[in-house]
């Protein structure tokens, strides 16, 4: 691991709000990327801080702010962010984006670019993404290529985007190739200038989506020992019920510690270039997950009303499949899969899926994942609780074992 990743990372939980550099945020995490460094603030009422953040991080003279809004979020949230920006002297414009994988398209990006230009958005004016991961991704992409890059602020409103998508600067859109939707095939790395994880916004998040966000937290806990937080697995286990009950103090600590793990991964390997580890480890569960997520008829329990799977549900299933694959090649201790399944089940996440097609269909989808290199599959597999590794060309029989593990009989 590189020297930056070895340093203690800057994660703060404020027991006395208002008495640290994070102002009245309940917690904060520094994403340490030299001149592209920024803070992720976590806590209640943070949307009202977006104006001050934009003013402090944008060049003097920045006059306009463009807010890109997830079409799922309540109008009051948008008004809160707009009022904060206007209070800081910005003229605001806004556009809504459909928060669906089909809305995460180059067409949406182009519409945003045209809207920026139509409002005379200039080189140092900020763009604000207000919503879940899809909105953050397309907004960041548009901000990253408009005038070769304008400042960008993430205001995530789902647990999944707070702990994962809003942090680390991956932006992009899906591309339809020969009739199939290829997720995140185009995009740029464009780090935000700040992230405001306002926990009040989770109030309107459906329970199923909260649970889906918890799947990415389980993933982080499965690699956290190598990224400065070996106690995260135990902590998540100990607080599973409090998290499902949305206990505010536990949710705050959950977001801060998960962003801490992600920040440390990203600081060590911003552009996913480390051979055999680094940022690629965040793909744990995702190769299986990405293969099954577009299969629109799949549901956790066979009830068509629960299809399709949410991204986090597909990741949860992917984590189980990865554990079974690792067990099959003998690279993880026996019992690991049981522990992971038990935590996922306690968090209300699926460990089996109904309607999985024949293995050949899923294996073909896995082979098309963009993590395949030079025609060789690379899977991220657990080595034990808190540790994972990239395994090149795992035996097909082991991958089939992974699929069998999640197939609902």
The stretch among 163-171, 235-243, 310-318, 337-345 that binds ligand GLY (CB under 6 A) is 163-171
CB of 119 to ligand GLY, least distance (A): 30
For ligand GLY, which is the closer residue by CB, 44 or 192?
192
Q: Please indicate whether residue 262 is annotated as part of the active site.
A: yes
Q: Please indicate whether residue 306 is annotated as part of the active site.
A: no
For ligand GLY, which is the closer residue by CB, 12 or 279?
279
Among 12, 55, 104, 170, binds ligand GLY (CB under 6 A): 170
Helix or strand run (H / E) with residue 255:
helix 248-268
Among 140, 168, 228, 386, binds ligand GLY (CB under 6 A): 168
CB of 169 to ligand GLY, least distance (A): 8
Q: 3-state SS of 372-385? A: CECCECEEEEEEEC
The stretch among 41-49, 135-143, 162-170, 340-348 that binds ligand GLY (CB under 6 A) is 162-170
Q: 3-state SS of 179-241? A: CEEEEEEECCECCCCEEEEEHHHHHHCCHHHHHHHHHHHHHHHHHHHHHCCCCHHHHHHHCHH
For ligand GLY, the binding residues in 272-331 under the rule CB under 6 A are: 279, 282
> Should residue 388 be labelled a site residue for ligand GLY when binding is judged by CB under 6 A?
no
Q: Please indicate whether residue 170 is annotated as part of the active site.
A: yes
CB of 286 to ligand GLY, least distance (A): 8
Helices of type H across 14-95? 50-57, 75-87
Nearest 5°: phi and psi at 261? -65, -45
**Rounded to whole angstroms, what are the CA distances from 138 to 39, 151, 154, 241?**
21, 14, 11, 34
Whole-number Å distance between alpha carbons of 182 and 162: 24
> Should residue 257 be labelled a site residue for ligand GLY when binding is judged by CB under 6 A?
no
Q: Please indicate whether residue 148 is annotated as part of the active site.
A: yes
Strand stretches in 339-399, DSSP E:
378-384, 387-392
Q: Count residues near ligand GLY (CB under 6 A).
A: 5
- Burial class from Cβ neighbours inside 10 Å (0-12, 13-18, 19+) for residue 372 reads middle
Neighbours of 60 (CB within 10 A): 6
CB of 167 to ligand GLY, least distance (A): 7
Q: Please indicate whether residue 371 is annotated as part of the active site.
A: no
CB of 385 to ligand GLY, least distance (A): 20
> Should residue 40 be labelled a site residue for ligand GLY when binding is judged by CB under 6 A?
no
For ligand GLY, which is the closer residue by CB, 46 or 284?
284
Binding site for ligand GLY (CB under 6 A): 164, 168, 170, 279, 282
């Amino acid at each position: 691991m590189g020297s930056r990743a070895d340093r203690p990372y800057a994660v703060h939980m404020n027991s006395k709000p208002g008495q640290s550099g994070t102002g009245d945020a309940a917690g904060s995490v520094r994403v340490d990327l030299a001149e592209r460094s920024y803070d992720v603030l976590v806590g209640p009422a943070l949307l009202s801080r977006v104006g001050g953040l934009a003013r402090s991080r944008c060049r003097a003279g920045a006059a306009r702010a463009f807010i890109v809004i997830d079409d799922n979020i309540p109008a009051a949230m948008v008004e809160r962010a707009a009022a904060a920006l206007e209070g800081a002297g910005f003229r605001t414009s806004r556009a809504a984006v459909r928060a669906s994988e089909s809305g995460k398209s180059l067409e949406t990006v182009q519409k945003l670019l045209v809207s920026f230009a139509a409002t005379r958005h200039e080189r140092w004016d900020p763009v604000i993404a207000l919503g879940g991961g899809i909105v953050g991704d397309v907004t960041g992409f548009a901000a990253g290529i408009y005038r070769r890059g304008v400042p960008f602020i993430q205001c995530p409103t789902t647990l999944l985007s707070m702990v994962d998508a809003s942090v680390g600067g991956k932006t992009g859109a899906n591309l339809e190739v020969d009739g199939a939707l290829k997720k995140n095939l185009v995009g740029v790395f464009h780090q935000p200038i700040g992230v405001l994880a306002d926990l009040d916004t989770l109030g309107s998040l459906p329970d199923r989506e909260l649970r889906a966000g918890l799947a990415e937290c389980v993933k982080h806990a499965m690699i956290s020992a190598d990224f400065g937080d070996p106690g995260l697995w135990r902590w998540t286990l100990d607080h599973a019920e409090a998290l499902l009950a949305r206990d505010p103090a536990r949710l705050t600590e959950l977001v801060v510690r998960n962003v801490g793990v992600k920040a440390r991964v990203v600081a060590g390997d911003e552009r996913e270039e480390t051979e055999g580890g680094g940022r690629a480890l965040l793909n744990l569960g995702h190769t299986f997950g990405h293969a099954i997520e577009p299969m629109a008829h799949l549901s956790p329990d066979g009830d068509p009303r629960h299809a399709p799977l949410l991204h986090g549900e597909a990741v949860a299933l992917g984590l189980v499949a990865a554990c079974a694959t690792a067990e099959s090649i003998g690279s993880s201790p026996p019992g690991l899969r049981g522990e992971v399944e038990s935590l996922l089940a306690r968090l209300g996440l699926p460990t089996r899926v109904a309607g999985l097609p024949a293995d050949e269909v899923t294996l073909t989808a896995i082979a098309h994942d963009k993590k395949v290199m030079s025609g060789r599959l690379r899977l991220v597999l657990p080595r034990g609780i808190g540790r994972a590794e990239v395994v090149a060309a795992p035996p097909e029989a082991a991958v089939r074992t992974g699929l069998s593990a999640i197939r609902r009989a």
